[in-house]
Amino acid sequence: MVKVGVLGYGTVGSGVVEILDKNKDIIAKRVGKDVSVKYVLDLRDFPGDPVEKVLVHDFEIIANDPEISIVVETMGGVHPAYEFVRKCLENGKSVCTSNKALVAAYGPELLALAEEKNINFLFEASVGGGIPIIRPLKTSLAPDEILEISGILNGTTNYILTEMTEKGSDFDSVLKDAQDKGYAEKDPTADVEGYDACRKIAILTSLAYGKQLDFEDIYTEGITKITDRDIAYAKKMGAKVKIFGSSKKVGDKVSAMVAPQLIYPEHPLYSVDGVFNAILVKGNMVGDVMFYGQGAGKLATASAVVSDVMDAAKHAGVNIITLWDAEKLDLVAAEDARNVFFVRVSGIKAQKSDKVKELFGNAKMVDAGYDDEFAFVTEEMSEGEYQKAAEQLEGVINKIRVDQTGLA
């Protein structure tokens, strides 16, 4: 019998308890022994909920119970989650978490402690919700050198951009609609400013290259500056606006970024709409591999957590090697990253086209039928080169990078 303690009885924590109960027979068959919840920690009471029978309000009860060999952390946030997880690991308990903020900040430290104790720190649900991506990176794709990872890593922003594209609505009205439907938080900052995707691509990149990529070092843009006119231009170009978290190998370094991108139908992620997530991984041997599914949701995320619980139960006393050292990954400077840019400019095209050509060379003009502005697409250039040129062009309204994947 494997006894589990659950820290947090919110959306994901309650889902974990539900799955371990409803699917207990199939889980027992696949693990080789019964797996059950002994305690659930939460500050709240839940009158009438069966969880009351195992509910505790003192973390030390779980931390110091010798019968509990696996702890599930679904509290969210960095503190006190870090302190709780570290103590559980120190006490010889494997930990399974869905907490991307914790993993991004303390992944190498907690993995090293788990290795020292011959237990496991597992975090499949920290990226992509129910989409399996962490384990495939560590196992199925282990023979490959990872050349590139790019993904739609946040369902809220993908839903907003999809609605703006399909209905022609503006950002603010779609955000309110997303909040009303429960797709966006009351405070949507982490989603719409790209911070959530930033932590996720930091985790994936660290695993892919075996060294720490601090999310604070990743250049990050959200979608708050995307307007209905940007969407109209994209349609005119036969493209869509998506926000990607991406990283790719450039020589001996890695370039990483979170930002809106214009993508064309040739891109494998072009048709990923609504609240769905997708991650494209390019290996030097396997080529392109895509992972697609629900990136959030109670049971989707909880299912990923329970898969880790089962893995930990099957590897009792054996550490599953995860290559992720505290040594910092060598990043390409943000200003040296190379991209193609879509640029919107206020004013009349005929009056500024010569200046555009002078600054940006062979730029391709885009006409969406507006009298008070125009747009163009640059050739590939560095971020620094773009910034220097844009500063000399009066009236720049917005820029969006253009992904060239799939184009000749």
In contact, 274 and 158? CB cutoff 8 Å = yes
**Three-class DSSP category at 243:** strand
User: Domain check: are 106 and 37 in the same one?
Assistant: yes
pTM for the predicted model, two decimal places: 0.96
CATH assignment at residue 61: 3.40.50.720
pLDDT the model gives residue 408: 57
- Whether residue 66 lies inside any domain: the answer is yes
Residue 93 lies in a domain: yes
Round to whole Å and give the CA distance between 171 and 183. Answer: 14
Is residue 134 one of the residues assigned to a domain? no
Determine which helix (DSSP H) or strand (DSSP E) holds 112, and give its type and residue range: helix 100-116
CATH code of the domain covering residue 249: 3.30.360.10
User: Residue 59 half-sphere exposure, CB side, CA atoms within 13 Å?
Assistant: 16
Distances 128 to 79, 292, 301, 308 between C-alpha atoms, Å: 22, 9, 8, 14
Whether 362 and 232 map to the same domain: the answer is no
Segments forming the whole domain that contains residue 91: 2-129+298-328
User: C-alpha angle 127/190/250, rounded to 5°?
Assistant: 55
Query: Is residue 75 located within the same domain as residue 94?
Result: yes
Count other C-beta atoms under 10 Å from residue 341's C-beta. 22
- pLDDT value of residue 47: 97
- On whether both 144 and 273 belong to a single domain, the answer is yes
Q: Are residues 198 and 224 in the same domain?
A: yes
Give the pair of three-digit tokens for residue 69. 């060999």
Tell me the helices (H) and strands (E) count for the chain, helix number first: 14, 19
Find all residues with CB under 8 Å of 326, minimum gap 6, and list them: 108, 109, 112, 212
In a domain, 72, yes or no: yes
Question: Do 165 and 310 fall into the same domain?
Answer: no
Catalytic residue among 38, 200, 240, 249: 200
Contact 278, 272 (CB under 8 A): yes
Same domain, 190 and 212: yes
Beta strands in 98-239 (DSSP E): 121-122, 146-152, 211-212, 219-220
- For residues 221 and 271, state if they share a domain: yes
pLDDT at 185: 87
Tell me, yes or no, whether 227 and 245 share the same domain.
Answer: yes
State the DSSP code for 378. P
Is residue 342 within 8 A of residue 366, CB to CB? The reply is: yes
Helices 171-180/155-167 angle, 10° precision: 120
Q: How many domains does the chain have?
A: 3
Question: Which pLDDT tens digits describe the chain residue by residue (408 residues)?
Answer: 999 999 999 999 999 999 999 999 999 999 999 999 999 999 999 999 999 999 999 999 999 999 999 999 999 999 999 999 999 999 999 999 999 999 999 999 999 999 999 999 999 999 998 999 999 999 999 999 999 999 999 999 999 999 999 999 999 999 999 999 888 889 999 999 999 999 999 999 999 999 999 999 999 999 999 999 999 999 999 999 999 999 999 999 999 999 999 999 999 999 999 999 999 999 999 999 999 998 888 999 999 999 999 999 999 999 999 999 999 999 999 999 999 999 999 999 999 999 999 999 999 999 999 999 999 999 999 999 999 999 999 999 999 999 998 775
Same structural domain, 230 and 150: yes
Tokens standing for 234? 């994209």
Alpha-carbon distance of 179 to 347, in angstroms, equals 36
- The C-alpha atoms of residue 105 and residue 78 are separated, in whole angstroms, by 8
Catalytic residue flag (residue 200): yes
Residue with tokens 């000399």: 392
Residues 56, 93: one domain? yes
What is the model's pLDDT at position 296?
Answer: 81
- Residue 26: phi and psi, rounded to 5, are -70, -35
Instruction: Give the end of a domain, one of 293, 308, 343.
Output: 293
| Cα–Cα distance list, 66 to 4, 16, 71, 90, 207 (Å) | 11, 21, 12, 12, 31
Residue 408: inside a domain: no
